[in-house]
Structure 1
């Protein structure tokens, strides 16, 4: 799937593109049926909500689950990012976010690149998210909220929030959010929230400021996020474990477009469990590690 000149122009202006119902019911069923077993695992890669057993984020399912390994190589998700970067990409992060009914907590206002820069030493913002809805997303179950055009500001000031939720995040303060929203149109479009059926896809810039509210509805809102990074822009530090920030910078080789309907073979290196290496971390930048060696 390639982006049109009009879509490229819209992405440059707004910082995101929305594709309602891009994947079929059959394709989405393959993924949704695999989620409960993944969430049930008592592994480090399942981050649970604060004070709850509900999974907030499942990391790296493409390393041990066949359906998600195929999704990680799907041309509808990977090719548009290569079009935007004009370069091959690797998987920086893969997560299944579970905004579960009644229990899904907030995601504070943030830029993804803020975390990737501060924690992983990713050189530039040549990385972005591609998200796919596994459930219907409506105004009640905590949909994503974007501030259109906020990516044009580049990296903004942020603080490391270690207390609000169970997952640490580099967050943007309320005063700056108010300024960005007003700049984007205030009550007339300063905040947008793409909503749609399962199978809808969102592509958004790593500097686009976004958030989501808690889910007080009786409906789950599970989405999959592929964080794709230009190969030349790979991270320079292993401060976070590998299941969160990957260290294999091999370009993604796409499967055929029907890969969610047919059982194409895929490599599952963590099928038999999380290796010890995936838990190891280092706060030393790569360059310093090489000099020390």
Structure 2
């Protein structure tokens, strides 16, 4: 997978800033197929979760664990996806797929995501090493300030894990530390074109505002873990199964099945939404 490798400059940027944007990561044809599947696959609608933000607006997502032989499975298992993830997480252990989620922010009604770190959630799953976890967001529609694109605090992954408590139905970071981080580091709006990818560290502080525009903001986020990183409070098993990599051509050329057989997350089974006793401290 050497042709998919990140440059030394890209590697340095990720480790310095906690994130990296790869423009035109997916082609127009790939985006069209992915977005069409997201809109039309019954499993996506059937298993969608609504999470309220602080104002009561709903953010909708569908989350599944094992990447299958469907178009999203082919994306998350593709060479172009796994090669940079392996480079950034460290190639001492195989890359595993923790979960993927389809984020659905509809015009006018799509809710906000409060400031958080992904590891703020995954700490409850008792993963040991946040440096061995990361996420890759692929925009299926344009993401901009108007429709609530992702905001990040540059370099905030170097803070380590910040305490998290509940914010609406979501898990949000300690706002004292967030405000301190905003005084210390740069806030960046990650505006993406359809098909662009954003790779980010599990401890990077990020948020997104409600979508008050006339345009939808949909994205697929795949989260990865190294097999060496053990989770002591996670009932799914994909996080410790090495990814079966497929060629990039699979996304467009291979026969794609439905997502109906995927192991979707049920809201009541998410450990991140359960009270551990320390959220209010």
Q: Give TM-score scaled by structure 1 length.
A: 0.80
Which one has the bigger helix percentage?
2
The match for 1:123 among 128, 133, 145 is 128
Tell whether the 8 Å contact from 2:64 to 2:262 is kept in structure 1 after alignment: no
Which one has the bigger strand percentage?
2
Aligned position for 2:13: 10
SS in structure 1 of the partner of residue 62 of structure 2: strand
Cα-to-partner distance string for 1:192-222 (whole Å, 9 max, x where unaligned): 0121211000000000000000000010000
**231 and 272 in structure 1: CA distance in 2 versus 1, 3 angstrom threshold:** closer
SS in structure 2 of the partner of residue 229 of structure 1: strand
Instruction: Provide the C-alpha distance between the structure 1 equivalents of 2:128 and 2:205, rounded to a whole number of angstroms.
Output: 19
Aligned position for 2:225: 229
SS in structure 2 of the partner of residue 261 of structure 1: helix
Cα-to-partner distance string for 1:59-97 (whole Å, 9 max, x where unaligned): 128656711111121122221111122131111111001
The match for 2:212 among 207, 212, 216 is 216
Instruction: Provide the C-alpha distance between the structure 1 equivalents of 2:262 and 2:94, rounded to a whole number of angstroms.
Output: 29
Following TM superposition, by how much is the alpha carbon of 1:55 offset from its aligned partner in structure 2, in angstroms?
6.4
SS in structure 1 of the partner of residue 30 of structure 2: helix
- RMSD between aligned residues: 2.8
The match for 2:62 among 38, 58, 62 is 58
Q: Does 1:194 align with 2:199?
A: no
**94 and 9 in structure 1: CA distance in 2 versus 1, 3 angstrom threshold:** same
Tell whether the 8 Å contact from 1:137 to 1:143 is kept in structure 2 after alignment: yes
Q: Which is higher, the Rg of structure 1 or of structure 2?
A: 1
Instruction: Provide the C-alpha distance between the structure 2 equivalents of 1:160 and 1:222, rounded to a whole number of angstroms.
Output: 24
Instruction: Provide the C-alpha distance between the structure 1 equivalents of 2:59 and 2:268, rounded to a whole number of angstroms.
Output: 23
Q: Does 1:138 align with 2:144?
A: yes
Write the mapping of 1:129-208 to structure 2, written as runs, cut at 5 A: 129-161=135-167, 164-165=168-169, 168-169=170-171, 171-184=172-185, 190-208=186-204
SS in structure 1 of the partner of residue 250 of structure 2: coil
The match for 1:46 among 42, 45, 48 is 48
Following TM superposition, by how much is the alpha carbon of 1:271 offset from its aligned partner in structure 2, in angstroms?
3.7
Q: Does 1:72 align with 2:76?
A: yes
Q: Does 1:101 align with 2:103?
A: no
Q: Does 1:91 align with 2:92?
A: no
Instruction: Provide the C-alpha distance between the structure 2 equivalents of 1:210 and 1:280, rounded to a whole number of angstroms.
Output: 25
Any gaps of 5 or more consecutive residues in structure 1? 185-189, 284-293
Instruction: Provide the C-alpha distance between the structure 2 equivalents of 1:227 and 1:205, rounded to a whole number of angstroms.
Output: 10
Following TM superposition, by how much is the alpha carbon of 1:226 offset from its aligned partner in structure 2, in angstroms?
0.5
Following TM superposition, by how much is the alpha carbon of 1:145 offset from its aligned partner in structure 2, in angstroms?
0.3
Q: Does 1:258 align with 2:264?
A: no
**248 and 5 in structure 1: CA distance in 2 versus 1, 3 angstrom threshold:** closer
Instruction: Provide the C-alpha distance between the structure 2 equivalents of 1:237 and 1:279, rounded to a whole number of angstroms.
Output: 16
Tell whether the 8 Å contact from 2:66 to 2:99 is kept in structure 1 after alignment: no
Aligned residues: 262
Aligned position for 2:274: none
Tell whether the 8 Å contact from 1:101 to 1:216 is kept in structure 2 after alignment: yes
Aligned position for 1:113: 119
Any gaps of 5 or more consecutive residues in structure 2? 272-281
